[in-house]
Amino acid sequence: MKHTKTNYGVTHRAYSTTLSASHLRAVVHMATQKHPLLHNSFPVMETRHTWLLAGTEQHGHVVFNYVQGEDSGLLYVSHRRGDKKLVDQVQKEFGRTLVRITKTVAKHGPGPNVLAGFFEELGGEPFADSLTIVDQAKESALTCSFQAVDQVMGKLFEVTEGLHDLRTAYLSGEEGVIRRATLEHRELTVKQEDSRIILMPGGRKLTLRNTFEVLDEANSLTLKVWFSWDAETMTFVVGFIEELQDCPF
């Protein structure tokens, strides 16, 4: 498998369909058993409207999200560019029961993968030089339906600025400055008792012990973002994203 940035970029497709979510899942299951290209792929993390296809020969998870409309359903598929042939094969299995939606229509639809696209395109922001968004973060974002990305952007900016202020405070050596910067940082983030370990480019491990949360009151969702400061790259690393269905506030 060729590891290139092009292969690992995330791309999205959208379809209208008259099939139910359970029927769509059944077709994907059948495709994994029928086609040699999919023999090393298998469904994981299945819920009523979301399911993932994982595999030893894939570049990442293929994520299927189903949204019920008034007259028909919408199926959103997110995958790494390197898995295009695999997803094309799954699409063929559906035949004419899926109708591809144009990018313009899909962009304005209720697509659940807004968050994944946000993290994929984050590099164009002015403060992105201070950020590293690893593949595991982008992949975990694919399973989230959280759409309030403007709030995520605002919180990322606050936390990034806070981390830089904290580093500057420690370099100053002034006790009062350090105390103020530490208190401000604690208001923005939470140090977890447990931790997550991710792989950085090149295979180096990085432990994530801090999180911050963003609330989407309209949809009763909370986004939990795991992060760390990486001394080697001198960047703020976003390593994993998870979604809580019930707001804890």
Confidence of residue 247 (pLDDT cuts 50, 70, 90): very low
pLDDT at residue 123, rounded to an integer: 57
SS3 assignment, position 2: coil
Average pLDDT taken over every residue of the chain: 78
Q: Which of 166, 164, 168 is nearest to 182 (CA)?
A: 166
Helix axes 175-188, 149-172, angle to 10 degrees: 160
The predicted-structure confidence for 157-212, as pLDDT tens digits, reads as follows 777 777 777 777 777 778 887 777 777 766 666 677 788 898 887 888 999 988 88
CB crowding 31-67: b at 16 or more within 10 Å, else e: bbeeeebbeebeeeeeeebbbbbebeebbbbbbbbbb
* pLDDT greater at residue 4 or residue 213: 213
Q: What are phi and psi of 57, to 5 degrees?
A: -105, 5
| Degrees to nearest 5, angle at CA 105 with 100 and 106 | 70
Query: Among 39-53, 90-104, 116-130, where is mean pLDDT lowest?
Result: 116-130
pLDDT digits (tens, 9 = 90+) for 12-42: 788 889 999 899 999 999 999 998 999 899 8
pLDDT at 3: 42
Q: What is the helix (H) or strand (E) element at residue 155, kind and residue range?
A: helix 149-172
Q: Which domains does the chain have, with CATH numbers?
A: 5-110 (3.30.160), 117-244 (no CATH)
Say whether pLDDT at 124 is over 70.
no
pLDDT at 155: 80
Instruction: Identify the DSSP state of 246.
Output: S
233 versus 162: the higher-pLDDT residue is 233
Does the structure show a pLDDT above 60 at 131? Answer: yes
- Whether pLDDT at 104 is above 50: no
**What is the reported pTM?**
0.55
C-alpha closest to that of 146 among 232, 70, 224, 33: 224
Q: Give pLDDT, residue 107.
A: 46
pLDDT at 121 over 60: yes
- Tell me the per-residue pLDDT of 56-85, one tens digit each, with 9 for 90 and over: 888 877 888 788 777 788 888 888 888 999
- 126 against 171, higher pLDDT: 171
Element (H, E) at 223: strand 221-230
Amino acid 127: pLDDT: 56
Q: What is the pLDDT of residue 199?
A: 85
pLDDT surpasses 50 at 108: no
For residue 22, which amino acid is it? S
**In the predicted structure, residue 232 carries a pLDDT above the cut 90:** no
